[in-house]
Structure 1
Amino acid sequence: MVPRWLVALALSVGIARAQFGTIVGVVVEQSSGDPIVGATIRLGGLPHGAVSRRDGSFVLRRVPAGNLTVLVSAVGYHPTEQRITLGSGDTVRVRIGLRVESIASQAVVVSAARRVQSIQEVSTSVSLVDAEAIAERGLTRLDEVLRYVPGVVVTGSQVSIRGSSGFSYGLGSRVLLLLDNFPVLSADNGDMSFDALPIADVERIEIVKGAGSALYGTSALGGVINVLTREESPSPELRIRALGGLWTLPRFETWRYRSDPPRLGAFDASTSGAFGPLRLLAAGGYRSDESYRDYNDSRRWYSFGKVTYELSSAAQLRLVAQYAADNRANWLNWRSLAYATLPPLTTDTTDRIDSRKLLLGLEQRTIWSPALFTILRGSIFRTWYTNTVPPDSSGHVSADATQYNAELQASYQASDQLNVTSGANLLLNAVESPYTQGRRTQAITSVYAQAEYRIRENLVATLGGRLDNVSTEPTAGLQLSPKLGLTYRISERMSLRASIGRAFRAATVTERYAALRFAGFTVGINPALRSEVGWSAEVGVLHTAVLGGREWTFDAAAFVARMENLIEPQFVVDTTAEIRFVNITRALLPGIEITVRGWLWGETIGVESGATLMAPRDLVEHATLRFRHNVQWNTRLIVAPLPRVQLNVDYRFLSRVERIDERIVQLGLVPDGDARVPIHVLDLRLLWDVPVAVPLRLTFNVRNALDYYYAEYIGNLGPTRQVSLQAEWRLR
């Protein structure tokens, strides 16, 4: 006799199978009907995804039955969404047409709520940079990419979203950085390693603005940046990109540290393909830059790999590996404004920095039932660096830092109206360095949950929170980060959003325990540092209008953030260069942000423009917050005078920084350190899709075409004029 439990199990499996279906489709160009290869297909709120093959076809198996939203995007096309109804055990066939469009429209995001969403469903502001924008501009580092995003300012190695950060030589980022959803802030300094990211193989970069700790925990005080690499191609593919260029000689004789223009170059190659249930992506690249400044040259290498294995129709395993090496001169600041491209006379120009970064990430996605799927994620991110100064010398620096991350995330569709995302996370930072007096560790454990409830068909409420425990806090280390959001879809073309949330950033190991000489300063330890905390809120509107027969997208937001316990370097005595990191600043950051994109005169001239206006205040000193720009404006024009030819123009403006740390100037640590002006940068690009058998695009790029001179931060001249030629091949 068959045991009852076996009969019950068989019945439950049969019922579960009956609750799933299959989607078979094809993606084509809307006007010509030609198949689109490499389009990304996702399902709203679900982990399913696919990439279209050579003939544009795709298959999504084991899809929960019910009403679904299919989200489709591809580089160079306007993304779209299509609603379908899938019955239990059925197969639905769809044909999806995409319209050619050079200006990216923001339609699909995954970072705002840790699941796939249409942009109209997100309650916070999100900016998106796609692969086309990165390739057209000839960009090779993340910091270069972020300079073109409204509301984002890059100061040296510091990234600020809506004024959340000023300048602190890269220590303690208030913006969380992810690579394919794995955290990649260093374990010691909590800083971003721009050169450790495979920019040539990025599909898109999502920038979530405002407090993000409710889902992401520490460091998401100002927002979250998620760098998402492209999916592995289902058919063999080879991509090659080569770039060569130079820095033009400056107009001032005292700035010319050499007689010939300094050169730069980059080379990237990647290949992708599928072998049954196994999909592979492998990439590597090299960058060399002699720099517009003396003793600022660099050589960088990187390799990147992604392997996805379909364990079954309901389970997927993915491995991500990244390694980068950087050998560069140890530039800190200029000798003086008169010699802005030369280091101080006391600089040891034989000293070089050798740094390495390694990321290993493993992720398993499992669909347990039509209502439940889980993601199990683990990663190791290791950074180590040293300089060439002998270890027994006072100028020697070195560190070996490793971040261990483990996370379990679950998404449960309780009903057609309610979706719950929850999880648990363990983050361990381990640092071994002479300047931290041996080995230091920091553990952060957390649980989180967020519910999205559809009150009405066009009204969604989001309520969530995260509880973190920080082991290095001097007192109780618990941090509670709640969030509340609303989205109201007035029509298919207009949606309103509002949100409020709390965020925090735990002090880094370096900020607490570092005792060293750096950039002319003596840094002392402060184990009593507390976490930075803050609240941010915003209201916004997203509207798509048809003007002159073409779609225009308008996005506007009003926001405010209040931050406390901000960690800043403070001079122990105003007459010495000894500093210590302390919780000293309270800040208020109100502002508005407006972006617009669309086409004029058919598809002859495209416009993409964004402006951020802020009034950042230091509530302790009752003055403007240091190292902030009150106005930022980015504009891009695309002119298509001929088939296969485009002229792109980028203009970036940043208002003059009103306040810096005057004590650095008063102590004479950086001569002419108070020199600062508004920033005006004009970039020009000419793109030509060469009509040859192998798809080839040539890009002639002139960055800072007017050779405008400005100080990016204290004692540091911003990049001068750069001229380059880039070639891209794509073989399928």
Structure 2
Amino acid sequence: MKKSSHNNIELLMFTCIGALLSVPFSTVQASESEIEKIEVLGRNMNHKLELERALNPGGVTLIDGDVLKERNISNLADALRYVPGVWATSSSGGDGLFFSSRGSNLDATSYDMNGIKLLQDGLSVTTADGNNHNRIIDPLAVRFASVAKGANALTYGASTLGGAINFVSPTALNSKPFSLYLNTGSHGLNQARVTAGAKFDNNLDAQVTVESKRRDGYRDHSEQERTGLYANVGWKLSDNLDTRFFYTYLDNDQELPGSLTQAELDEDPNQAAATAIGGNFQINVATHRIANKTNITIDKNSSLEFGLSLEKQTLYHPVVDKVLVDFDGPGPNEPVEVFSLLIDTDHQDVGAMARYNLKSGDHNLLFGFNWAENEVTGGNLRNDGGQRNGLTTIIENKAESLEVFAVDRWSLSEQLTLVYGLQAVNTDRDVRNTDVTSNELRNPSASYSSFNPRAGLIFDISSDVSFFGNVSKLFEAPTNFELEDDVRASSETLDAMEGVMVEIGTRGGHQFAYNSYVTWDISAYYASIQDEILSRDDPAASGNSLVTNIDDTVHAGIEALINGGVELNKVKGRLETTLSISINKFSFDDDPIYGNNDLPAAPGYVVHGELLYKSDSGFYLGPTFDIVDERYVDFANTTEVDSYSLLGFRAGYNTDDWQVFAEFKNLTDKAYVSNLSVLNIAEIDSRIFNSGEPRSVYVGFQIGF
């Protein structure tokens, strides 16, 4: 991003803040009657999630899993498309992706995924050390999702910069007894899901989903094969007590195409890197997870929920090809391999949670905890074309985390609600990497603790308007992967990231006439961060990242989600629009090396939108569009990725029992960069770019009864 672009973004941010403060007073307040009204204006969302969002003085976005099935969802990035503040892209269209919330994880974006806590039915899927390296939730296996950005995730116990996403599983109680979903299209995509469920007279219910996904990918060497099984059984023991058991099995094998140089990108953006083919890069993960969630209604003013989970994984991950060095010297010599990497590890994650909710007078209290323990055993090996070629490092890593939190939503008056709370976190890291040749042990090990307060206000100006604001502390300890990749390559440890975030915003809706409405959720935030953990690609071994703390950084932005509908009486339908806007200003803050440079990987602004005609009979069609600003690829801000705009189109037909859709992406076949690896200083031949999806078409069908 050039200096002029810098200034334009800052001007745009200030303009949007002014617009935010002058939004017409027509927002929905935090009462149950409002939620019913919003359901009329927009889509029928989970009632409990709507109430949680209404009582949160910050940015929260809700996702309806049924609505996702009206368009092509190939990966989680597709599902998060209209969530402002979240930047999510895939390197080849498969499940492997990079995602960032409010500027989290802006470093070696092709490798680890941290900074966002993922939960399934309130139980953590993110490991105890804070990483999402091997496991991303399948969005088509979700009934609802709540994306709480930044410190707005306190109600889930999280304090990370990116916040948390809680995915709610479908059950026989909120789904049809039988459904079949089929999706096919460009680049060899074929996926099918069959779901069957039943409710029994003895207060039992059960549901099972079997799924299969196959895709060739739009890039060479990016084939994916995934099979899965999702099952849950619920038992209502009494009017006040119910429990549910969950089981998940996933077997996902995915080839990785690797990153390209600029010259390779210009020649053929859909080719794979020669190193990826030679090293047969792939990530193969098999997962088993069992969990239980129990809900107790103690009385009309109090309730308790608690749960346990156990997840086991195997990871087979050839990720770095042979790095050869030709040593000079007298006489003939051959290049010697100095580095390659194949990760072969077993993972176990155990978790527990509890939430106690109490309504007492004007107070709505929430107390809870999350506990998690993670173990990783196995090793790093030399990679010989995707095959094991000798153990180099023995891995025995452990992590444990305890988050305890309390939140009070205190109704000071009919108009004003004070929301304040505190999170206490204590988390341990223990990395044990033993070099097989020298028997030398690297053992960075540390405990990290913090108290993270929060205070905010929700102000209902009228029966139709709410403004909110909060001041919150952020805290995020390093992951075990980051400790392993510390630039110092010793047993020293990184510091935890800490910061303070200030946020203001408004959300709500207004009905203009019968079936014509507008809803919005707008937030502006500013965070001052100390010791942010950033990493860059190791120039001596591409694919390996080096990590360090940065003294001071700034994360600021504006997030806006606007939905609207206008009744068209003459054609028996209406126009509906969705507009998601993210404006980002992430930078170093007077850094001794990088000054006030922008942080790489995040565009200055991102706009996703669509405009659909929806007939009263269930037919819909209309264009979609994406507008993405420039972004730097290096900390030195010497090289940037061009901005781009994409045009798409989608159409479909919905009835009570079946739905069909068609979606066209990138109609102009625009060549662009989806995501990238981050360097200190980019060179002309740096292999860091991943191309975006070319022109594509997908069709889908679902029947349920």
Bucket of the pairwise TM-score, normalised by the shorter protein: 0.7 to 0.9
Match of 2:377 among 432, 452, 476: 432
CA distance in 2, matches of 1:180, 1:695: 27
Offset of residue 309 of structure 1: 0.7
In structure 1, C-alpha distance between the alignment counterparts of 2:258 and 2:613, rounded to whole Å: 40
Deviation at 1:360, TM superposition (A): 1.5
Does the Cα contact within 8 Å between 2:661 and 2:699 map onto a contact in 1? Answer: yes
Matched, 1:136 2:85: no
Q: Distance in 2 between matches of 1:368 and 1:136?
A: 39
Q: Deviations over 1:213-254 (max 9, x none)?
A: 6444456322111111234237961011111111xxxxxxxx
Alignment of 1:464-503 (within 5 A): 464-472=421-429, 477-503=448-474
CA distance in 2, matches of 1:283, 1:511: 36
The counterpart of 2:208, out of the listed 282, 301, 307, is 282
Q: Please identify, of 171-180 and 545-554, the stretch whose mean Cα deviation from structure 2 is larger.
A: 545-554
User: Is the CA contact 2:598–2:635 (under 8 Å) kept in the aligned structure 1?
Assistant: no
Do 1:524 and 1:579's aligned partners in 2 also have CA atoms closer than 8 Å?
no
Q: Which residue of the partner structure matches residue 55 of structure 2?
A: 121
Change over 3 Å in CA distance of 1:71–1:305 after alignment to 2: farther
1:181 corresponds in structure 2 to 122
Q: Tell me the residue number matched to 2:500.
A: 535
1:376 aligns with 2:306: yes
SS at 1:374 equivalent: strand
User: What is the aligned partner in structure 2 of residue 453 from structure 1?
Assistant: 410
Rounded to whole Å, the distance in 1 between the matches of 2:70 and 2:612 is 11
Match of 2:634 in 1: 660
Q: Is this contact kept in 1: 2:494–2:548, CA < 8 A?
A: yes
Q: Aligned partners of 1:427, 1:187: CA distance in 2, in Å?
A: 5
1:421 and 1:120 mapped to 2: Cα distance? 15
Q: CA 1:104–1:309 in 2, change beyond 3 Å: closer, same or farther? A: same
| Structure 2 partner of 1:569 | 535
Contact 1:514 1:525 in 2 (8 A): no
Following the alignment from structure 1 to structure 2, what is the Cα–Cα distance between the partners of residues 630 and 326? Answer: 34
Contact kept in structure 2, 1:219 and 1:506, CA below 8 Å: no
Matching residue within 314, 317, 332 for 2:243: 317
TM-score by length of 1: 0.76
Per the alignment, residue 342 of structure 2 pairs with 396
- The code of the aligned residue for 1:124 comes to G
Q: State which drifts further: 348-357 or 604-613.
A: 348-357
Name the structure 2 match of 1:244: 184
Partners of 2:615 and 2:356 lie apart in 1 by 50
Backbone CA RMSD of aligned residues? 3.2
Do the aligned partners of residues 281 and 575 (structure 1) sit closer, same or farther apart at CA in structure 2, a change above 3 Å counting? closer
Q: Match for residue 716 of structure 1? A: 690
Unaligned runs of 5+ in 1: 1-43, 46-67, 73-78, 82-97, 111-115, 247-261, 516-521, 666-673
Q: Check conservation: 1:281, 1:306, Cα contact below 8 A.
A: yes
SS in 1 for 2:535: strand
**One-letter code aligned to 1:411:** N
**Offset of residue 447 of structure 1:** 2.1
Q: Give the equivalent residue in structure 2 for 1:669.
A: none
What TM-score comes out, normalization by structure 2 length?
A: 0.78
Aligned to 1:291: 217
Structural mapping, 1:66-215, within 5 Å: 69=32, 79-80=36-37, 99=40, 103-104=42-43, 108=47, 110=49, 117=51, 119-156=53-90, 157-168=97-108, 169-186=110-127, 190-191=131-132, 196-197=137-138, 199-212=139-152, 214-215=154-155
Q: Displacement of 1:343 after TM fit?
A: 2.3
The alpha-carbon deviation at position 349 of structure 1 amounts to: 6.0
**What letter corresponds to residue 406 of structure 1 in structure 2?**
A
Query: For 1:686-706, what per-residue CA distance to the aligned partner results, in whole angstroms no more than 9, with x for missing partners?
Result: 10247xxx9332211112222
**In structure 2, what is the Cα distance between the partners aligned to 1:571 and 1:140?**
28
CA shift, 1:297, in A, is: 0.9
Aligned-residue sequence identity (percent) comes to: 18
The one-letter amino acid of 1:303's match is L
- Letter of the 1:429 counterpart: N
Q: What amino acid maps onto 2:351 in structure 1?
A: N
Alpha carbons of 1:501 and 1:108: their partners in 2 closer, same or farther (altered >3 Å)? farther
1:243·1:727 contact (CA, 8 Å) conserved in 2? yes
2:588 paired with 1:618: yes
Match of 1:222 in 2: 162
Q: Is 1:462 paired with 2:419?
A: yes
Q: Is the 8 A contact 1:107 1:119 kept in 2?
A: no
Alignment of structure 1 residues 299-310 onto 2, 5 Å: 299-310=225-236
CA contact (8 A) 2:597 2:635 kept: no
How far apart, in 1, do the equivalents of 2:526 and 2:239 lie?
A: 45
Distance in 2 between the 1:700 and 1:238 partners? 23
Deviation, structure 1 residue 326: 0.8
What amino acid does structure 1 have at the position aligned with 2:355? Answer: Q
CA contact (8 A) 1:444 1:468 kept: yes
Name which structure has the greater RCO, CA cutoff 8 Å, separation 6+.
Answer: 2
- C-alpha change, 1:179 and 1:525, in structure 2 (3 Å) is farther
Structure 1 pair 447/120, CA: closer, same or farther in 2 (3 Å)? closer
Which of residues 357, 362, 365 in structure 2 aligns to 1:411? 357
CA apart distance, 1:656: 0.9
Change (3 A) 1:164 1:326: same
Deviations 1:173-198 (A, max 9, x none): 1111111212112467812656542x
CA shift for structure 1 position 109: 5.2
Structure 2 unaligned spans of 5+: 1-28, 91-96, 322-336, 381-392, 431-444, 677-688
Residue of 679, 700, 703 corresponding to 1:726: 700
What secondary structure does 2:151 align onto?
coil
Q: Residue type of the partner of 1:566? A: E
2:557 aligned residue: 591
SS at match of 2:353: strand
Letter in 2 for 1:420: L
Q: Bigger shift: 237-246 or 215-224? A: 215-224
Q: Counterparts of 1:239 and 1:471 in 2: how far apart (Å)?
A: 44
8 Å CA contact 1:464, 1:483 repeated in 2 = yes
- Give the drift of 1:724: 1.6
Quick one: distance in 2 between partners of 1:394 and 1:219? Answer: 36
- Write the distance in 2 (CA, Å) between the matches of 1:235 and 1:438: 43
- The equivalent position to 1:683 in structure 2, one of 625, 648, 660, is 648
C-alpha contact (below 8 Å) 1:172/1:508 kept by paired residues: no
State the partner residue of 1:645: 619
Distance 1:151 1:170, change over 3 A: same
Counterpart AA for 1:177: L
Match of 2:668 in 1: 706
State the aligned residue count.
601
Alpha-carbon displacement from aligned partner over 1:553-592 (angstroms, at most 9, x marks no partner): 23332211122211122578x7886753111252212222
- C-alpha distance in 1 between matches for 2:70 and 2:218: 22
Give the distance between the partners of 1:723 and 1:627, measured in 2 at CA.
28
Q: Report how far residue 483 of structure 1 moved.
A: 1.0
Deviation at 1:606, TM superposition (A): 0.9
**1:164 CA drift (Å):** 2.8
